[in-house]
Structure 1
Amino acid sequence: MQKHSLIAIAVALFAAGCTMAPHYQRPAAPVSGSFPTGGVYATQPAAAAGATSANGQAATDIGWRDFFADARLQRLIDIALKNNRDLRVSVLNMQAARAQYQIQRGALLPTISAVGQQTKSRTPLDLSVANQTIQNQYSVGVNGSWELDFFGRIQSLKDQALAQYLSTAQARKAAEIALVAQVADQYLQVLGADDLLQVTQNTLKSSQESYRIAKVQFDTGTGSELDLRQAQTVVEQAEANQQAQARLRAQAENALVLLIGEPLPADLAAGLPLNDQALITDIPAGLPSDLLTRRPDIMQAEESLLAANANIGAARAAFFPKISLTGNFGTLSPTLGGLFKAGSAAWQFAPQISLPIFQGGVNKANLDLATVQKNIQIAQYEKAIQTAFREVADGLAARGTYDQQIQALERNTFAEQRALDLSNLRYTNGVDSYLSVLTAQTNLYTAQQSLVNARVNRLTNLVDLYKALGGGWIERAGEQPRPADAPVDYSAERAPAAATSAASAPSAG
């Protein structure tokens, strides 16, 4: 009767899932309740002409195909999501954590195994019975064992493994969102390199023409060698810059190829030039508290904190007794042929309780370690929130200033072009020296480079702000977001295994 009562109590506790883990409370967000306003944050742009408007939707509700209008870029992102090796490693890490969770979850259940055994032994003649020194014993049966988790040690370890699995699922989600932004940023860098190369080629072409004129004048005695050499310096510098820009353009494309995980396809659609990249510019920032449910890196840090909290429960339970039930049932015979004869049945039941008395302070040290590890995870969770707040605030500051900066640079470029035209006119009429033309050419080239760089930076900031607000997980607006632990079909061979394992574990939002 007592045995059955003990089992009933164990089953009740097991079903209730009791643990000694501390009650979890989410730490307060160590940031302001709203993003900065005023100053550089005050002038946030509306939807650009010809571009799609966010219409008040959060970044998480805007698909990346809606955010990026360039068909060429969309194709590259699609390829990267299938081929990028870093993302593939994130998915495999998630699958490994899922398997570890399943292993730990299995420890809550009894283990049952079929066993067949032969034992053969020799006893000294003076100790033998009936002068039988050789003894054989054959057995076939079923062995079972079960640790009764009265104090929640195994349950806490299972909760820890589950939280770690969900943490890796959120890490995979963060990696995928980051990859979308990385491909877009690198694509924009390639377009910017194209524009800078074109600016350098135009500068080289105009400087070569100026050098040709200066040489003709020098050869005919109407120009000085100083003018000729000054014109030559512009040509040589432009040629050097052209090589540098061509190198940077090739390296930018190599970086893009690495991100997408394969060579650029030959059938890529024609892309839009840099100035026609109509990204969504009016995505609302929302509140900092929204980031807790929109940023997978924050959710990843919280799951790691939950795992550390569960580990404290396991460390506390180690101070209490461990109760286990073991037993077997089968047949036993001195001969192989007698295993299944009448009267050969045999069984054994062996409950055991183990109470730690002295372990050199190991349990206390383990509890102290678990507590410190939780405090570390609290600090990392808070840092993840602060980092997210800073990234969004930086993006808003940049979004509020780039349009005005580019407008000023466009006016400056126009003014420098006009100054070059006037300097050329004054030089050809003998009013000024060639130095004024040289200065004007250098100033125009610098202004054009600054304008191109500012345009690239404006677009990459919009991409990074979209990512910082949690955008990039869904492909099209209106789609139901996938679970963070959704399997990925990299090949037909992997699909069945991935689907099977996904069905046996809970989903991460």
Structure 2
Amino acid sequence: MTRNTFIALLSILAFSCASAPPKKDIQTGVDLPQTWKLDLQTETAIDSAWWNEFNDPKLNEILVQAFGQNFNLAIAAANLQTAAAQARIAGAPLFPQVDLSTNGARTKQNFIGLPIPGLEGGVLSSTVSSFGLAMNLSWELDLWGRLSADKSAAVAQVQASRADFIGARLSLAAQISKTWFTAIEAKRQVELSQATVENWRAARAQVKRRYESGLTSSLDYRLSLSNFAIAEANLASSQSQYETTLRQLETLLRQYPSASIAVSPELPEISSDVPAGLPADLLNRRPDLAAAERRVAATHAGVSSAKRALLPRISLTGSGGTSSNELGDLLKGDFSVWRIAGNILQPLFQGGRLRANVKLAKSQADIALLNYQQTALNAFAEVENSLASERYLNQRQTALEEATHQALAARNLAETQYGRGLIDFITMLETQRSAFETERLLLTVRRQRLEARINLYLALGGGFSVKNQSNQI
């Protein structure tokens, strides 16, 4: 268990017995279909550690490292701790406030102007010591539930922060996974560019021999020189992109960006089905929607608190202790003193502040509801887009695999025929370019399919479930 996760769990357990607003179904503002537009769903559930589906031990290793070191995740954990502390502060007024006080004083008094025999011309004085020990108690009775509403709102914010932390963790896993696969693709693009340079080096030598033998024109020779130079430029560009991606990955892992991290040699294959589920289920499967719903609940509790602030407040105060002129008598019962009092406060006129607070709370509740509905609509769009990408990228990869197979076969055939003088250089040049381009595109589409699957996992909640987030947190 990472340090950030441990901190988050401690913040949650601190409020395991606190009262939170119950979860309510909120209207999304749109009519939900029975199934997604692209009906690809299965009954498969998403694993909360969905990155295991890629069967890449190195990826799993760096994700564990990132969960314990990433700055953004640490910030999310700190936000959760902050919300937990605020909830504790909000709940404190529900309990009696008790404090202990002690005091001591020594006073000298002069009696001037009094005719005291024997002290003509002198001053009579008296020195008195006093000591006190008291325990003071104050307690506002929550008859109308205002203080409970404040605490309930704060606990709902803790739940929202917890969902934000889970969302930040899933987002970090997605960002690192995408960067990881981009780095693998970049490495494979470098290898492809190196192979292309060697291929053009051999082609240049072949054309040069034919040119020197008078079997081809200077145009073919210059074209071979040009394409070899282009291949070298592409190799430099691929190497730059590869190193840049490695530095991005190292930054996410809180390492110095030296572009020295080792990545897996190949992109993984996608074999599992699409665990889409049903549109209505999405509302309970995404941490951002769970956080938005908890913030709606918190604002409703805020409205309740603002309304109840218009009602009278009843408080009890009391104190008990001892008072004596001698320090040694403070613990003796004969010198005890006590006081108890009650207080009722009814707000009458505060310049409209309290009623304005009610309007403010209602406006905040309206904003929270609109944010929830917009978040839900965005979530549905993300799932539909991810499902569409999953389908069309799969079709594109299938087509490019066939295109690459045919292009490589055509290149080998063209190079053989050109060596025998059966075709011209332009034809061989075109087949070589086509082979390089289809291989390059195939690598890119394979990486895009992995990113699309990651986006789909995130769009579907990444294994998160509201059932796992207790309403008592």
* TM value normalised by structure 1: 0.78
1: CA distance between counterparts of 2:460 and 2:431?
43
The alpha-carbon deviation at position 456 of structure 1 amounts to 0.8
1:226-305 to structure 2, matched below 5 A, reads: 226-262=219-255, 271=264, 273-274=266-267, 277-305=268-296
* In the alignment, structure 1 residue 172 sits paired with structure 2 residue 165: yes
1:87-126 to structure 2, matched below 5 A, reads: 87-118=73-104
1: CA distance between counterparts of 2:372 and 2:101?
49
The alpha-carbon deviation at position 365 of structure 1 amounts to 1.7
Q: Which residue of 1 aligns with 2:314?
A: 323
User: Highest CA radius of gyration, 1 or 2?
Assistant: 2
Q: Please list the CA deviations of residues 128-184 of structure 1 after superposition, one character each: whole Å capped at 9, or x if unmatched.
A: 9x9879876431010001011122221111001100001101111112222232232
Q: Is residue 176–residue 473 contact of structure 1 (8 Å, CA) maintained in 2?
A: no
* In the alignment, structure 1 residue 367 sits paired with structure 2 residue 358: yes
1:420–1:57 CA distance, 2 compared to 1 (3 A):
closer
Q: Which residue of 1 aligns with 2:28?
A: 29
Q: Which residue of 2 aligns with 1:452?
A: 443
Q: Which residue of 1 aligns with 2:44?
A: 57
2: CA distance between counterparts of 1:351 and 1:364?
26
Q: Which residue of 1 aligns with 2:5?
A: none
The alpha-carbon deviation at position 425 of structure 1 amounts to 5.0
The alpha-carbon deviation at position 70 of structure 1 amounts to 2.0
Counterpart residue identity of residue 388, structure 2: A
The alpha-carbon deviation at position 249 of structure 1 amounts to 1.4
Q: Please list the CA deviations of residues 83-104 of structure 1 after superposition, one character each: whole Å capped at 9, or x if unmatched.
A: 3232222222212211221222
Q: Is residue 190–residue 238 contact of structure 2 (8 Å, CA) maintained in 1?
A: yes
* In the alignment, structure 1 residue 77 sits paired with structure 2 residue 63: yes
Q: 2:146 aligns with which of 136, 153, 157?
A: 153
Q: Is residue 184–residue 263 contact of structure 2 (8 Å, CA) maintained in 1?
A: no
Q: Please list the CA deviations of residues 213-270 of structure 1 after superposition, one character each: whole Å capped at 9, or x if unmatched.
A: 2333444554433222211221111111111111211222222223334479xxx999
Q: 2:133 aligns with which of 135, 140, 152?
A: 140
1: CA distance between counterparts of 2:136 and 2:444?
72
Structure 1 residue ranges without an equivalent (≥5): 1-16, 46-53, 475-480, 486-505
Counterpart residue identity of residue 75, structure 1: E
2: CA distance between counterparts of 1:159 and 1:121?
51
Task: Classify the secondary structure of the residue corresponding to 1:279.
Answer: coil
2: CA distance between counterparts of 1:357 and 1:454?
70
2: CA distance between counterparts of 1:81 and 1:319?
47
Structure 2 residue ranges without an equivalent (≥5): 1-17, 117-123
1:413-452 to structure 2, matched below 5 A, reads: 413-425=404-416, 427-428=418-419, 433-452=424-443
Q: Is residue 45–residue 463 contact of structure 2 (8 Å, CA) maintained in 1?
A: no
1: CA distance between counterparts of 2:81 and 2:227?
59
Task: Classify the secondary structure of the residue corresponding to 1:359.
Answer: coil
Q: Is residue 79–residue 161 contact of structure 2 (8 Å, CA) maintained in 1?
A: yes
Q: Is residue 180–residue 263 contact of structure 2 (8 Å, CA) maintained in 1?
A: no
Q: Which residue of 2 aligns with 1:498?
A: none
The alpha-carbon deviation at position 418 of structure 1 amounts to 4.1
2: CA distance between counterparts of 1:126 and 1:379?
78
Q: Which residue of 2 aligns with 1:461?
A: 452
Identity between Structure 1 and Structure 2 (%): 28
Q: Is residue 71–residue 271 contact of structure 1 (8 Å, CA) maintained in 2?
A: no
1:440–1:194 CA distance, 2 compared to 1 (3 A):
same
Q: Is residue 328–residue 347 contact of structure 1 (8 Å, CA) maintained in 2?
A: yes
Counterpart residue identity of residue 167, structure 1: A
Q: Is residue 116–residue 139 contact of structure 1 (8 Å, CA) maintained in 2?
A: yes
The alpha-carbon deviation at position 327 of structure 1 amounts to 1.5
Counterpart residue identity of residue 69, structure 1: N
2: CA distance between counterparts of 1:70 and 1:191?
12
The alpha-carbon deviation at position 375 of structure 1 amounts to 0.7
Q: Is residue 80–residue 260 contact of structure 1 (8 Å, CA) maintained in 2?
A: yes
Task: Classify the secondary structure of the residue corresponding to 2:319.
Answer: strand
Counterpart residue identity of residue 200, structure 2: S
Q: 1:386 aligns with which of 368, 377, 383?
A: 377
Q: Which residue of 1 aligns with 2:3?
A: none
2: CA distance between counterparts of 1:450 and 1:114?
76
* TM value normalised by structure 2: 0.83
1: CA distance between counterparts of 2:266 and 2:284?
35
1: CA distance between counterparts of 2:236 and 2:438?
20
Counterpart residue identity of residue 401, structure 2: E
Q: Which residue of 1 aligns with 2:12?
A: none
The alpha-carbon deviation at position 371 of structure 1 amounts to 0.8
The answer to which of 310-319 and 223-232 deviates more is 223-232
Counterpart residue identity of residue 250, structure 2: V
2: CA distance between counterparts of 1:127 and 1:116?
36
Q: Is residue 143–residue 326 contact of structure 1 (8 Å, CA) maintained in 2?
A: yes
* In the alignment, structure 1 residue 195 sits paired with structure 2 residue 200: no
Q: Which residue of 2 aligns with 1:309?
A: 300
Q: Please list the CA deviations of residues 427-472 of structure 1 after superposition, one character each: whole Å capped at 9, or x if unmatched.
A: 4455654333333333322222111111111122122212322235
Counterpart residue identity of residue 426, structure 2: L
* In the alignment, structure 1 residue 332 sits paired with structure 2 residue 332: no
